[in-house]
């Protein structure tokens, strides 16, 4: 390690970190496989365990080629860490489905940690003109992404299975619309009735107002002025007629 230049020393550091994580997950996956009863899920975990072991071997070869070491120590530490977590994973959850769900969530978290690790190695290696390390990181990252996608589907399926296994059917059924919405429905009807009653009152008021308005028009000052000369003419005509009769 002391003879490495700055570029290779940093690459070896990152690759050792990735190697340590792969060795930790080997032990973790073996424990999870033993706890998994769902056949397709178990089969995929076994397949990914093989991929994980292959990743560790590829990383080890690349570290050696770059002139690095330290991966043996990383392996011991990683396996000890995973072994310490194993008993805790065995007792998690209240039922079989929930244990698998919690394991899937842990695996999903680990896959995304690995994806970020390999993405960083890939970009660093490209910038540092190490095409071989960049390609190795990219290839492994794609396998981790496929596993993460699978685990996403398992988390959804297992969450539904936990609901079915641990929540009584009556509590899983949606509440009846009638029972929960009776009171609001009454309030809504009352609220609708108010504008209807108000509009009816308005109409009745306008009907009563029309005859009154007509009377007011008839007795308006302008009409009274027009009617006054007519009345005067009629009165004078009556007086003239009565005078003639008297003569």
Q: Which residues of the chain have pLDDT under 70?
A: 1-2, 71-94, 178-247
* 175 within a domain of the structure (yes/no): no
Please, which residues have CB within 8 angstroms of residue 78's CB and are 6 or more apart in sequence?
20, 21, 22, 23, 24, 27
* 225 within a domain of the structure (yes/no): no
* 172 within a domain of the structure (yes/no): no
What pLDDT shows up at residue 147? 98
**Model pTM?**
0.66
Range of the domain at 86: 6-163
What pLDDT shows up at residue 247? 43
* 11 within a domain of the structure (yes/no): yes
Q: What is the pLDDT of residues 32-64, one digit of tens each?
A: 999 999 999 999 999 999 999 999 999 999 999
Q: What is the 3-state secondary structure (H, E, C) of the chain?
A: CCCCCHHHHHHHHHHHHHHHHHHHHHHHHHHHHHHCCCHHHHHHHHHHHHHHHHHHHHHHHHHHHCCCCCHHHHHHHHHHHHHHHHHHHHCCCCCHHHHHHHHHHHHHHHHHHHHHHHHHHHHHHHHCCCHHHHHHHHHHHHHHHHHHHHHHHHHHHHHHHHHHHHCCHHHHCCCCHHHHHHHHHHHHHHHHHHHHHHHHHHHHHHHHHHHHHHHHHHCCHHHHHHHHHHHHHHHHHHHHHHHHHHC
User: Which phi and psi angles does 68 have, rounded to 5°?
Assistant: -95, 175
What pLDDT shows up at residue 95? 85
What pLDDT shows up at residue 175? 83
What pLDDT shows up at residue 69? 80
* Residue 100 near residue 158 (C-beta atoms within 8 A): yes
What pLDDT shows up at residue 120? 98
* 93 within a domain of the structure (yes/no): yes
Whole-angstrom distance, CA of residue 211 vs CA of residue 215: 6
What pLDDT shows up at residue 111? 98
CATH value at residue 117: 1.20.1260.10
User: Which phi and psi angles does 3 have, rounded to 5°?
Assistant: -85, -5
* 56 within a domain of the structure (yes/no): yes
* 29 within a domain of the structure (yes/no): yes
Number of separate domains in the chain: 1
* 197 within a domain of the structure (yes/no): no
Query: How many other β-carbons are positioned within 10 Å of the β-carbon of residue 230?
Result: 9
Whole-angstrom distance, CA of residue 141 vs CA of residue 58: 13
């Amino acid at each position: 390690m002391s003879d490495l230049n700055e570029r290779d020393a940093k690459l070896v550091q990152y690759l050792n970190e990735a190697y340590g994580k792969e060795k930790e997950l080997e032990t973790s996956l073996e424990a999870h496989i033993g706890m998994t009863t769902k056949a397709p899920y178990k089969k995929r975990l076994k397949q990914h365990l093989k991929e994980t072991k292959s990743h560790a071997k590829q990383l080890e070869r690349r570290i050696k080629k770059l002139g690095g070491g330290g991966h043996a120590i990383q392996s011991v530490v990683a396996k000890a860490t995973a072994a310490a977590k194993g008993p805790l994973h065995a007792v998690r959850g209240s039922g079989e489905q929930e244990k698998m769900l919690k394991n899937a969530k842990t695996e999903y978290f680990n896959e995304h940690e690995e994806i970020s690790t390999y993405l960083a190695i890939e970009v660093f290696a490209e910038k540092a003109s190490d095409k071989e390390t960049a390609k190795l990181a990219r290839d492994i990252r794609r396998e981790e992404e496929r596993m993460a996608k699978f685990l996403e589907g398992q988390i959804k399926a297992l969450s539904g299975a936990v609901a079915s296994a641990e929540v009584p059917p009556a509590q899983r059924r949606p509440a009846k619309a009638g029972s929960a919405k009776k009171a609001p429905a009454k309030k809504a009807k009352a609220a609708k009735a108010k504008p209807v009653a108000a509009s009816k009152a308005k109409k009745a008021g306008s009907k009563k107002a029309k005859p009154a308005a007509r009377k007011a028009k008839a007795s308006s000052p302008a009409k009274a002025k027009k009617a006054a000369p007519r009345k005067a003419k009629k009165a004078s005509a009556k007086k003239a007629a009565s005078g003639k009769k008297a003569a």
